[in-house]
Structure 1
Amino acid sequence: MTGTPASPTAPAAFTTDDYRARMARAVRAADAAGLAGLLVAPGPDLSWLTGYKPTADTERLTLLVLAAGRDPVLVVPTLEAGDAAHAPGAPALTLRDWTDGQDPYAATAPLLDAGGRYAVSDSTWAVHLLGLGRTAPTGVGFTALGEALPMLRAVKDAAELDRMAAAGAAADAAYDEIRNVRFEGRRETDIAADLAGLLRGFGHTQVDFTVVGSGPNGADPHHEAGERVIAAGDTVVLDFGGLVHGYGSDTSRTVHVGEPTAEERRVHDVVREAQERAVRAVRPGAACQDIDRAARETITEAGYGPRFIHRTGHGIGVTTHEPPYMVEGERQQLVPGMCFSVEPGIYLPGRFGVRIEDIVTVTDDGVRRLNTTSREMAVVH
């Protein structure tokens, strides 16, 4: 490998005021949706709202309770209360701790209003939801937060967009370097390990996936890198990403070991044109399904419609996959600050696949790509 990896400069940390504003925004959104409030268990929603990330997944109840007219309350096990008190958003919270042997659901029930309907974070354990249902006041109901408020984290502010841009740049740097390594005669897992090392070297604190699909394996969109030895003449799909400063990267490029055939070039050109048309369709007021349609129409016109077997894109932020989704039937309008992937593909079973993916963000007057590496088919050795 060439070059010297350099981590992106760390941005200023989010402040208590940032987390206080997010919680207030969530309460307003809940009220507008006719909800009494939100119940948020450990996971991406809790970390986004408060900055608190429990040290381990645990059977002990931890729950943020947000409701209009009440101060935010974090119900937390006593043995973890010290850590919770040091979270960046803690000064905006009231901590209510419970000790082993107590009923945490009974301790939480007084925070809920009779007859209220609460959105519960998607990561909440079923046992906790059942416990709350057993002890909650009469008439309390629950709904999934992801269904009730799917756009809660979708619109990024300026500080979040800076982190998204840094993540995209770090992934781009990794791709620029991986094209210089030898592919032929090495296993997919070897290339995946190289990619993971480059992602970390360029600033990723967490590597979530390194898909390396060579030859026929490239026709499986979520192929796990395996022991197949990459050979001359292989098309290789690379899809990789992780977290930089807590925000996600996710990019795909398709390379070829040696010179591609005319058919391989044609398929790649179709996908590249589909991706370009889909990105051009991004603008405020467009519907999510419009982005999917732009990509799908291009691929269908070229005769490969049945071989495009997934949605065109997904939202991204503190998690790799989150709303909004670029798929037929999704009429959610795009607004500035939304970030999502645009990743059409063509997959020919038993032969090869091609996918090209960039993360984009909606701007006031159009779109900005957060991945800027070449989308031409790169020849590797």
Structure 2
Amino acid sequence: MIKILDSNRAKIIEANKKDLDLYDPTDRAMYDRLIVDDYKIDTMIKAVKEVKDQEDPVDKIISEIELENGLKIQNKTAPFGTIMIIYESRPDVTIEAAVLAFKANSKILLKGGKEAINSNLVLVECWHEALEKHDLPTDLITFLNMNRIQTQEFLIAPTEKLDLIVPRGGEKLIAFVKEHAKCAVLISGRGNNFMYIHDDAEWEKTIEVMLNAKTQKISACNALDKILINKNIDQYSSKIQNLRQIFMTNKVELAMHSSLADVVPSGNSFEKEEVWEEEFLSMKAMIGAVESIDEAIEMINMYSGGHSSIIMTEKTKAAKKFMEQVDSAAVYHNASTRFTDGGQMGVGAELAISTDKLHHRGPLGLEQLVTNKYYVFGDGHVRD
């Protein structure tokens, strides 16, 4: 597959150009997710190499015990079986999801978005060529070219047994899958990530982390959207004005919440409360003020997508409290949310960032793409 991807660069980029010609040029986040260039192909090849070099995750002993009655019991990792992933925009998922499932001894059904159809079809052709070279059935990696109605019908009455579905996209997609699926669904949740600036936060460090989290890649689910600043921070008013200027300089649209009315010049518009729940996926951020770390934790747990949250503080005790009490898959102390990524966290290629608490939370890499099975060895044992 590595060789096939490398030798088909021109064909892949040409197919991607057909998709790009149809996209909305005002949607920068979509463009970031959709584009395939030589760099993107390099990252696809890197993902395949990383997974190839990882240890086989199947048939690993989790635990083993011999009971007093002589029964020997092993708990070992096992393949899921058939995994379906539903995703939007990103052709690189066609590579990462498939290579992970293949290595984990599972079949995968790829339901990519219509906006990347030409790119995805070529990439699946590459997969099938690789499988055929090793006399393996091509239906191990299957692309489902379905519209919304056909997808709904497939979820309600699948033509084959499904063991796990991973919807990777916005809230509407996730709700759609949860409504119709008949098997286990692992949620790759929305972002809407928060930063809380504590009253002792080091300001230059805070600005650097904030800008990276907000602007480094706006299309990512780990991008920053909301900022809560403690009103007791030194030079509170001037720091609010400083934030406004910094975001303006970096071309980030800023929504100032009404909690900042005492320091924001008159005429500045205040957003409605429901905006706290919105994932922007754009050069937009929202700032609000809180009286305490407890208020910040309460707001984050109420409004965020449960993905990634940051506290900026020099107080270890405050950081510990925040990280223990904020209900997110990843919690950060003085670091950007952009690190919530399989490669950045040492997991390697990922299927998704799970915001579920079962079966796994956080980057869903190769080791997490298995279930388990008990092997019980006896010699005519019967239970009394």
TM-score (norm 1): 0.33
Higher relative contact order (CA 8 A, sep 6+): 2
